[in-house]
Structure 1
């Protein structure tokens, strides 16, 4: 993955985003965004693992405000998108697409395929992934917790070569 400490990207809506790797000082803000965006958020320790681990968590800031992040990892010729989130007040502005493009760029020289899981009910995310050349390769039964039990995940992949 790229070791650049920061990067500036523009969304298709013209927002200028500053990307940088997560630091220990960011964890509390990341957890606030994670809890606001997901019914069953990641644990804080999962983000802390990004500080020194094989996973990389890139934050996207707009005018100094954390608006999203993406977590990717790679190994053995494959890569996986572990988490991608956009703050609810900033959704539908191209941030998710920009984060996803950044994730692809981070791993494309180190992996042949990029995999991800997505809730079957998350139609907006599935549509985004399909627009970005991901395709369904399988399902994981009862993968995600819900308020009433579990929900299937769709396993998707994108060729990087």
Structure 2
């Protein structure tokens, strides 16, 4: 879905110079997105969660490098706040600027509609927490037992970033 007045860039360039082709999630992409997420998440989303992107409830954009899916980001917004719901980068492309490019894409698409962007992150995901802190996110809360985990539940940190 392209937002009226906020065209989606056709291409992004990572800090390392890699060209990423950008496009909104299509029904034909869902299986590949789910396969990518299964490679990087212990508890990936169900298909219905991605289908919500197709009906406009959420917004998902995919990025491709040399014809291969290398990442995606899912966001939503309402009432002046945005939420980063999901972001994933193929393991072989992590630490190459793809995640930063996806986050910047999401921020640009959300800014006209939200003044804050929120997200939850597993307390054990120190790599992601460090990334978000570098990107000007700060801790605003804590959700006990938020995420399913092998053998139980895991807490989440709630992070936020001011957009305006």
Where on the TM-score scale, by shorter chain, does this alignment land: which range?
A: over 0.9
Shift of 1:149: 0.6
Q: Which residue in the other structure is 2:13 paired with? A: 10
Unpaired runs of 5+ residues, structure 1, are none
Which of structure 1's runs of 4+ aligned residues deviate more than 4 A? none
Matched, 1:23 2:12: no
Residue in structure 1 matching 2:137, options 127, 134, 139: 134
Q: What secondary structure sits across from 1:85 in the alignment?
A: strand
Unpaired runs of 5+ residues, structure 2, are none
Shift of 1:132: 0.8
Shift of 1:62: 0.4
Q: Which residue in the other structure is 1:56 paired with? A: 59
Aligned residues: 161
Residue in structure 2 matching 1:34, options 22, 30, 37: 37
Q: Is the 8 A contact 1:54 1:74 kept in 2?
A: no
With normalisation by structure 2, the TM-score equals: 0.94
C-alpha separation in 2, matches of 1:128 and 1:109: 24
C-alpha separation in 2, matches of 1:101 and 1:129: 12
Q: CA RMSD in A?
A: 1.2
Residue in structure 2 matching 1:156, options 151, 155, 159: 159
C-alpha separation in 2, matches of 1:114 and 1:77: 9
Q: Is the 8 A contact 1:6 1:21 kept in 2?
A: no
